[in-house]
Chains A and B, each alone.
Chain A
Protein backbone atom coordinates (compact mmCIF):
# COMPACT_ATOMS: atom_id res chain seq x y z
CA UNK A 1 0.00 0.00 0.00
CA UNK A 2 0.91 3.65 0.09
CA UNK A 3 3.77 4.45 2.40
CA UNK A 4 5.52 7.52 3.81
CA UNK A 5 8.87 7.05 5.52
CA UNK A 6 10.25 9.76 7.80
CA UNK A 7 13.77 10.26 9.17
CA UNK A 8 15.19 10.76 11.70
CA UNK A 9 12.89 9.53 14.44
CA UNK A 10 14.55 11.85 16.97
CA UNK A 11 16.64 14.96 16.43
CA UNK A 12 18.44 17.09 19.01
CA UNK A 13 19.88 20.46 18.04
CA UNK A 14 21.36 23.41 19.86
CA UNK A 15 19.29 26.57 19.96
CA UNK A 16 20.08 28.67 16.89
CA UNK A 17 21.13 25.71 14.76
CA UNK A 18 19.16 24.36 11.80
CA UNK A 19 17.06 21.19 11.75
CA UNK A 20 16.22 19.07 8.71
CA UNK A 21 13.64 16.29 8.57
CA UNK A 22 13.29 14.11 5.47
CA UNK A 23 10.41 12.05 4.06
CA UNK A 24 9.96 9.73 1.12
CA UNK A 25 6.66 8.59 -0.40
CA UNK A 26 5.69 5.67 -2.60
CA UNK A 27 2.70 6.84 -4.68
CA UNK A 28 3.89 8.80 -7.72
CA UNK A 29 0.37 10.29 -8.05
CA UNK A 30 0.64 12.11 -4.69
CA UNK A 31 0.31 15.86 -5.26
CA UNK A 32 0.05 17.46 -1.82
CA UNK A 33 2.61 17.30 1.01
CA UNK A 34 1.79 18.99 4.33
CA UNK A 35 3.81 19.14 7.54
CA UNK A 36 2.13 19.08 10.95
CA UNK A 37 3.54 20.02 14.35
CA UNK A 38 2.27 18.39 17.53
CA UNK A 39 3.24 19.81 20.90
CA UNK A 40 3.12 17.55 23.93
CA UNK A 41 -0.47 16.62 24.78
CA UNK A 42 -1.90 18.78 21.99
CA UNK A 43 -3.49 18.20 18.61
CA UNK A 44 -1.46 18.21 15.36
CA UNK A 45 -1.50 21.56 13.55
CA UNK A 46 -0.49 22.44 10.01
CA UNK A 47 2.71 24.50 9.78
CA UNK A 48 3.48 24.44 6.04
CA UNK A 49 2.50 22.56 2.90
CA UNK A 50 3.69 22.20 -0.69
CA UNK A 51 2.07 21.05 -3.91
CA UNK A 52 3.60 18.97 -6.65
CA UNK A 53 3.95 21.88 -9.08
CA UNK A 54 6.27 23.75 -6.68
CA UNK A 55 9.84 22.84 -5.74
CA UNK A 56 10.27 24.97 -2.63
CA UNK A 57 8.17 27.06 -0.25
CA UNK A 58 9.24 29.29 2.64
CA UNK A 59 7.44 30.81 5.59
CA UNK A 60 9.73 32.80 7.89
CA UNK A 61 12.06 30.29 9.58
CA UNK A 62 10.57 27.17 8.00
CA UNK A 63 10.86 25.89 4.45
CA UNK A 64 9.89 22.78 2.58
CA UNK A 65 11.52 21.34 -0.53
CA UNK A 66 10.09 18.72 -2.89
CA UNK A 67 11.85 16.44 -5.37
CA UNK A 68 9.11 14.67 -7.35
CA UNK A 69 11.53 12.62 -9.41
CA UNK A 70 13.11 11.10 -6.31
CA UNK A 71 9.79 11.14 -4.42
CA UNK A 72 11.13 12.86 -1.36
CA UNK A 73 10.46 16.10 0.48
CA UNK A 74 12.11 17.81 3.43
CA UNK A 75 11.34 20.28 6.21
CA UNK A 76 14.00 22.85 7.10
CA UNK A 77 13.85 24.92 10.29
CA UNK A 78 16.47 27.63 10.67
CA UNK A 79 17.51 29.49 13.84
CA UNK A 80 15.75 26.95 16.02
CA UNK A 81 14.18 28.10 19.28
CA UNK A 82 13.05 26.12 22.36
CA UNK A 83 9.42 26.54 21.30
CA UNK A 84 10.21 24.55 18.14
CA UNK A 85 10.54 21.45 20.34
CA UNK A 86 7.68 19.14 19.31
CA UNK A 87 6.84 16.12 17.17
CA UNK A 88 6.76 16.84 13.44
CA UNK A 89 4.81 14.72 10.95
CA UNK A 90 5.08 14.74 7.19
CA UNK A 91 2.20 13.49 5.05
CA UNK A 92 1.35 12.76 1.42
CA UNK A 93 -2.07 12.82 -0.23
CA UNK A 94 -3.44 9.66 -1.84
CA UNK A 95 -6.20 9.93 -4.44
CA UNK A 96 -7.24 13.30 -3.03
CA UNK A 97 -9.16 11.68 -0.18
CA UNK A 98 -6.51 10.28 2.12
CA UNK A 99 -3.53 11.74 3.93
CA UNK A 100 -0.89 9.15 4.83
CA UNK A 101 1.44 10.30 7.61
CA UNK A 102 5.02 9.47 8.41
CA UNK A 103 5.91 8.02 11.82
CA UNK A 104 6.99 11.39 13.19
CA UNK A 105 10.21 13.09 14.33
CA UNK A 106 10.76 14.22 17.92
CA UNK A 107 12.69 17.50 17.73
CA UNK A 108 14.44 18.72 20.87
CA UNK A 109 15.98 22.17 20.86
CA UNK A 110 18.51 22.58 23.66
CA UNK A 111 19.06 26.03 25.10
Chain B
Protein backbone atom coordinates (compact mmCIF):
# COMPACT_ATOMS: atom_id res chain seq x y z
CA UNK B 1 0.00 0.00 0.00
CA UNK B 2 1.24 3.47 -0.87
CA UNK B 3 -0.91 5.03 1.90
CA UNK B 4 -1.80 8.70 1.33
CA UNK B 5 -0.24 10.26 -1.76
CA UNK B 6 -0.16 14.01 -2.40
CA UNK B 7 0.89 15.86 -5.53
CA UNK B 8 2.61 18.15 -6.22
CA UNK B 9 5.20 18.30 -3.41
CA UNK B 10 6.15 21.87 -4.26
CA UNK B 11 4.31 24.62 -6.13
CA UNK B 12 4.82 28.34 -6.71
CA UNK B 13 1.83 30.41 -7.81
CA UNK B 14 1.20 34.04 -8.58
CA UNK B 15 -1.60 35.89 -6.83
CA UNK B 16 -4.90 35.19 -8.56
CA UNK B 17 -3.87 31.91 -10.16
CA UNK B 18 -5.81 28.74 -9.53
CA UNK B 19 -4.58 25.23 -8.84
CA UNK B 20 -5.58 21.86 -7.45
CA UNK B 21 -3.69 19.84 -4.86
CA UNK B 22 -4.29 16.16 -5.42
CA UNK B 23 -4.75 13.58 -2.67
CA UNK B 24 -5.30 9.85 -3.09
CA UNK B 25 -5.40 6.99 -0.60
CA UNK B 26 -5.39 3.24 -1.29
CA UNK B 27 -6.52 2.06 2.15
CA UNK B 28 -10.28 2.21 1.43
CA UNK B 29 -10.66 4.87 4.12
CA UNK B 30 -14.01 6.61 4.44
CA UNK B 31 -12.70 9.75 6.16
CA UNK B 32 -10.41 12.23 4.39
CA UNK B 33 -9.34 15.73 5.32
CA UNK B 34 -7.09 18.65 4.41
CA UNK B 35 -4.97 20.60 6.91
CA UNK B 36 -2.68 23.55 6.50
CA UNK B 37 0.41 23.96 8.67
CA UNK B 38 1.82 27.40 9.45
CA UNK B 39 4.63 28.24 11.89
CA UNK B 40 3.34 28.65 15.44
CA UNK B 41 -0.21 27.73 14.47
CA UNK B 42 -0.16 23.97 14.33
CA UNK B 43 -2.39 22.06 11.94
CA UNK B 44 -5.66 23.72 11.03
CA UNK B 45 -8.51 21.82 9.39
CA UNK B 46 -9.65 23.22 6.04
CA UNK B 47 -12.27 20.72 4.80
CA UNK B 48 -13.14 17.12 5.49
CA UNK B 49 -15.21 14.30 4.03
CA UNK B 50 -16.84 11.32 5.76
CA UNK B 51 -17.47 9.46 2.51
CA UNK B 52 -17.94 9.79 -1.24
CA UNK B 53 -20.30 12.64 -2.06
CA UNK B 54 -20.12 14.19 1.42
CA UNK B 55 -17.93 17.16 2.36
CA UNK B 56 -17.97 19.73 5.14
CA UNK B 57 -16.05 22.76 6.32
CA UNK B 58 -13.34 22.80 8.94
CA UNK B 59 -11.77 25.69 10.86
CA UNK B 60 -10.37 27.67 7.90
CA UNK B 61 -12.40 26.87 4.74
CA UNK B 62 -12.43 30.29 3.04
CA UNK B 63 -10.65 30.35 -0.32
CA UNK B 64 -10.70 26.57 -0.75
CA UNK B 65 -13.08 24.12 -2.42
CA UNK B 66 -13.20 20.34 -2.22
CA UNK B 67 -15.15 17.48 -3.76
CA UNK B 68 -15.27 13.73 -3.11
CA UNK B 69 -16.50 11.85 -6.15
CA UNK B 70 -14.71 8.60 -5.22
CA UNK B 71 -13.58 6.98 -1.96
CA UNK B 72 -9.94 7.22 -3.05
CA UNK B 73 -9.58 10.88 -4.11
CA UNK B 74 -10.05 14.18 -2.30
CA UNK B 75 -8.66 17.15 -4.28
CA UNK B 76 -8.29 20.63 -2.78
CA UNK B 77 -8.87 23.57 -5.12
CA UNK B 78 -7.61 27.12 -4.75
CA UNK B 79 -9.72 29.24 -7.09
CA UNK B 80 -7.80 32.52 -6.77
CA UNK B 81 -4.58 32.14 -4.79
CA UNK B 82 -3.58 34.77 -2.23
CA UNK B 83 -0.24 35.25 -0.39
CA UNK B 84 -2.06 34.29 2.85
CA UNK B 85 -2.45 30.80 1.40
CA UNK B 86 1.31 30.24 1.41
CA UNK B 87 1.61 27.18 3.63
CA UNK B 88 2.34 23.48 3.84
CA UNK B 89 -0.77 21.43 3.09
CA UNK B 90 -1.37 17.94 4.44
CA UNK B 91 -4.01 15.49 3.33
CA UNK B 92 -4.98 12.86 5.91
CA UNK B 93 -7.31 9.87 6.02
CA UNK B 94 -8.83 7.59 8.60
CA UNK B 95 -10.68 4.30 8.32
CA UNK B 96 -13.85 5.64 9.91
CA UNK B 97 -14.76 8.49 12.26
CA UNK B 98 -11.73 10.52 13.25
CA UNK B 99 -12.20 9.57 16.91
CA UNK B 100 -11.99 5.82 16.23
CA UNK B 101 -8.34 5.58 15.25
CA UNK B 102 -5.24 6.89 13.60
CA UNK B 103 -5.20 9.72 11.10
CA UNK B 104 -2.71 8.88 8.33
CA UNK B 105 -1.00 11.88 6.74
CA UNK B 106 0.47 12.37 3.31
CA UNK B 107 3.97 13.79 2.86
CA UNK B 108 2.71 17.34 2.43
CA UNK B 109 2.62 19.92 -0.36
CA UNK B 110 4.53 23.17 0.07
CA UNK B 111 2.74 26.05 -1.67
CA UNK B 112 4.16 29.53 -2.15
CA UNK B 113 1.96 32.33 -3.45
CA UNK B 114 3.83 35.40 -4.70
Contact = CB atoms under 8 A, between A and B. Distances in A.
Contacts of A104: 40, 42
Contact of A43 (B33, B58, B90): B90
B14 interface: no
Contact of B98 (A1, A42, A97, A103): A97
Size class of the contact patch on chain A: 20 to 34
A42 to B, nearest CB: 8
Contacts of A98: 45, 48, 58-59, 98
A43 B108 CA distance: 7
Size class of the contact patch on chain B: 20 to 34
Interface string B28-55: 0001010100001111110010100000
Contact of B103 (A9, A34, A102): A34
B61 to A, nearest CB: 12
A52 to B, nearest CB: 10
Interface string A85-108: 000010101001111111110000
Closest CB pairs A-B (n = 3): A32-B99, A93-B99, A43-B105
Interface of A: 1, 6, 9, 31-32, 34, 36, 42-46, 49, 89, 91, 93, 96-104
